[in-house]
């Protein structure tokens, strides 16, 4: 095994619209346990846990997901994660540039492995072998490697990589002849029969400095904006914050278009590692265990005479009778029903929800915060009822509201409540009242989660009616 260690860069900025209603803007698919009891990002971090081969991973995430990502990493033992926050999504080339600039400052010879946080890899031994082959090809800074998945079907949902000549003296590595856009069915069948075309995995292994050199050659505007953004990077808890104003001037582009399709240094390592990008409900059905009728069943589901379906519920019971090749997914506030052949078009539903000004594509009924979570259970004219769950030792911001009053009732645990200059302790079945305009704060000093029923009343109950004076999590 090589002494040279790889620096994983895990991209976690996607929204996963094709897996609505489970995946939503504030809680996308990489944060969900879709295949195992671990979330997709946890599985991805586990994949690079061998410290003999890998450095600590660098996570690229966005502002909205930062505390959820940090908490999920801590759940699998990453107590002090490094999370670089994109001020705004600009596709993969700028994200990789931010990471490369950070890595070369620490180690000019850094080799970075860029991979999405929401793919699955079932055969980790094959993954590691392919990495070693690619590492041998890129370590002399002569190549930029990508990984081509050996196709098992004429897939029209992926781009393809056409394999060229073998790299001299490099096991399992080939020049890239060309990158190919998503083909139609007939062309995909030709690619499969040819044997020299591979699915484009979107996973790359680069010397960080070489990648920056290629950006300087082909996309200097991306490099310049990212350099300026990283020249004023700020550390906030475990988060690295590039300069927002500078980054927003950065053009959007993918690694493929910005560098790989333009350079003569691109090479591909073909690999069969049980890879899937989980890009649709039908793809998720493909990779999961099924019952004797070919159904994937999760949650409260009754299936009678139904075959080859994906049936899942987080809320109401689903009764499926006489169905074939159907996707039925229920959450507490939305239900999706689709034929598997149309599962790639679920993003059109999300677009319609956004166009209509609805919120079911943004957040679930349970909304996660760094201190815990809240769930709206009832609402109407001038009132709203929420259930707050505050983690042990956590504290909400010191805040006030201009338009609403609040009643807090403790149903589990013990609460420390600050209202203006008064601090009081509330036990189970005790309550308090916070008038409009009162400066207040809620803390959980106990060892178990604190459960609060919050009843809001007033002329405006939006989440933006919060004036924060102090906050342990750096929120405005």
**pLDDT digit string, tens, across residues 152-203:** 999 998 999 999 999 988 889 999 999 999 999 999 999 999 999 999 999 9
**Predicted pLDDT of residue 14:** 81
**β-strand partners of 239:** 83, 236
Under 8 Å between Cβ of 459 and 382:
yes
- Rounded-to-integer distance, Cα 476 and Cα 474, Å: 7
Q: Left, alpha or beta for 63 (phi > 0: left; psi -120 to 50: alpha)?
A: alpha
Of 83, 39, 352, which is closest to residue 233 (Cα–Cα)?
Answer: 83
Exposed / middle / buried, residue 423 (Cβ in 10 Å: 0-12, 13-18, 19+): exposed
Q: What is the pLDDT of residues 68-94, one digit of tens each?
A: 999 999 999 988 899 999 999 999 999
Mean pLDDT rounded to a whole number for the chain:
94
**Predicted pLDDT of residue 79:** 84
β-pairing, 266-271 vs 174-180, is antiparallel
In degrees and rounded to multiples of 5, residue 440 shows phi and psi of -145, 165
**Predicted pLDDT of residue 2:** 45
Chain centroid offset of residue 31 CA? 5
Under 8 Å between Cβ of 242 and 81:
no
CA atoms within 13 A on the CB side of 126: 15
- Rounded-to-integer distance, Cα 16 and Cα 36, Å: 18
**Predicted pLDDT of residue 170:** 85
- Rounded-to-integer distance, Cα 147 and Cα 454, Å: 51
Mean pLDDT value across residues 21-44: 94
Residue 140 pLDDT greater than 90, yes or no: no
**β-strand partners of 83:** 59, 239
Under 8 Å between Cβ of 263 and 144:
yes
**Predicted pLDDT of residue 3:** 60
Exposed / middle / buried, residue 152 (Cβ in 10 Å: 0-12, 13-18, 19+): exposed
Look up the pTM and report it.
0.89
**SS3 assignment, position 179:** strand
- Terminal Cα distance for the chain, rounded: 47
Q: What is the pLDDT of residues 261-297, one digit of tens each?
A: 999 999 999 999 999 999 999 999 999 999 999 999 9
Q: What is the pLDDT of residues 381-409, one digit of tens each?
A: 999 999 999 999 999 999 999 999 999 99
**Predicted pLDDT of residue 54:** 95
Exposed / middle / buried, residue 62 (Cβ in 10 Å: 0-12, 13-18, 19+): middle
- Domains in the chain and their CATH numbers? 6-276 (3.90.550.10), 281-354 (no CATH), 366-470 (2.60.120.10)
pLDDT above 90 covers what percent of the chain? 88
Spatial neighbors of 249 by CB under 8 A, at least 6 apart, are: 225
- Rounded-to-integer distance, Cα 454 and Cα 405, Å: 10
Of 282, 256, 261, which is closest to residue 201 (Cα–Cα)?
Answer: 256
Under 8 Å between Cβ of 98 and 13:
no
Q: Left, alpha or beta for 9 (phi > 0: left; psi -120 to 50: alpha)?
A: beta
Q: What is the pLDDT of residues 207-219, one digit of tens each?
A: 999 999 999 999 9
Q: What is the pLDDT of residues 321-373, one digit of tens each?
A: 999 999 999 999 999 999 999 998 999 999 999 999 998 999 888 988 999 99
Residue 4 pLDDT greater than 80, yes or no: no
Give the DSSP H or E segment for 422: strand 422-426
Q: What is the pLDDT of residues 207-264, one digit of tens each?
A: 999 999 999 999 999 999 999 999 989 998 889 999 999 999 999 999 999 999 999 9
- Rounded-to-integer distance, Cα 158 and Cα 275, Å: 12
């Amino acid at each position: 095994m090589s002494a040279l260690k790889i620096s994983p860069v895990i991209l976690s900025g996607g929204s996963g619209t094709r897996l609505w209603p489970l995946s939503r803007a504030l809680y996308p698919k990489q944060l969900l346990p879709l295949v195992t009891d671990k979330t997709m990002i946890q599985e991805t971090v586990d994949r690079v846990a061998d410290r003999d081969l890998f450095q600590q991973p660098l996570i690229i995430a966005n502002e909205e997901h930062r505390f959820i990502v940090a908490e999920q990493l801590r759940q699998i033992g990453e107590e002090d994660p490094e999370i670089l926050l994109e001020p705004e999504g600009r596709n993969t080339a700028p994200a990789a540039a931010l990471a490369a600039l950070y890595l070369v400052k620490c180690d000019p010879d850094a080799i970075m492995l860029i991979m999405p946080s929401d793919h699955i890899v079932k055969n980790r031994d094959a993954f590691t072998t392919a990495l070693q082959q690619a590492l041998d090809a890129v370590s002399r800074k002569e190549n930029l490697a990508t990984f081509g998945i050996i196709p098992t079907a004429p897939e029209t949902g992926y781009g393809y990589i056409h394999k060229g000549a073998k790299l001299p003296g490099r096991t399992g590595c080939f020049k890239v002849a060309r990158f190919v856009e998503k083909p139609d069915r007939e062309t995909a069948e030709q690619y499969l029969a040819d044997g020299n075309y591979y699915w484009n995995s979107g996973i790359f292994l680069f010397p960080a400095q070489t990648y920056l050199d290629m950006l300087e050659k082909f996309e200097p505007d991306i490099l310049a904006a990212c350099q300026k953004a990283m020249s004023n990077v700020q550390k906030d808890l475990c988060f690295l914050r590039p300069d927002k104003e500078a980054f927003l001037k950065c053009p959007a582009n993918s690694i493929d278009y910005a560098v790989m399709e333009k350079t003569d240094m691109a090479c591909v390592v073909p690999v069969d590692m049980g890879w899937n990008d989980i890009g649709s409900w039908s793809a998720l059905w493909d990779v999961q265990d099924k019952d004797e009728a070919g159904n994937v069943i999760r949650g409260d589901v009754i299936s009678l005479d139904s075959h080859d379906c994906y049936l899942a519920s987080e809320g109401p019971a689903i009764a499926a009778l006489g169905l074939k090749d159907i996707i039925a997914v229920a959450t507490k506030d939305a239900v999706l029903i689709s034929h598997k052949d149309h599962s790639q078009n679920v993003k059109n539903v999300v677009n319609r929800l956004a166009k209509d000004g609805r919120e079911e594509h943004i957040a679930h009924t349970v909304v996660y915060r760094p201190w815990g979570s809240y769930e709206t259970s009832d609402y109407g004219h001038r009132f709203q009822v929420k259930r707050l769950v505050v983690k042990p030792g956590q504290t909400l911001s010191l805040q006030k509201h201009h338009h609403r009053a609040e009643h807090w009732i403790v149903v589990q645990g013990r609460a420390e409540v600050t209202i203006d200059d008064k601090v009081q302790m509330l036990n189970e079945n005790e309550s308090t009242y916070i008038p409009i305009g009162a400066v207040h704060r809620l803390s959980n000093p106990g060892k178990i989660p604190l459960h609060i029923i919050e009843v809001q009343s007033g002329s405006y109950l939006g989440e933006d009616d919060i004036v924060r004076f102090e906050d342990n999590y750096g929120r405005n």
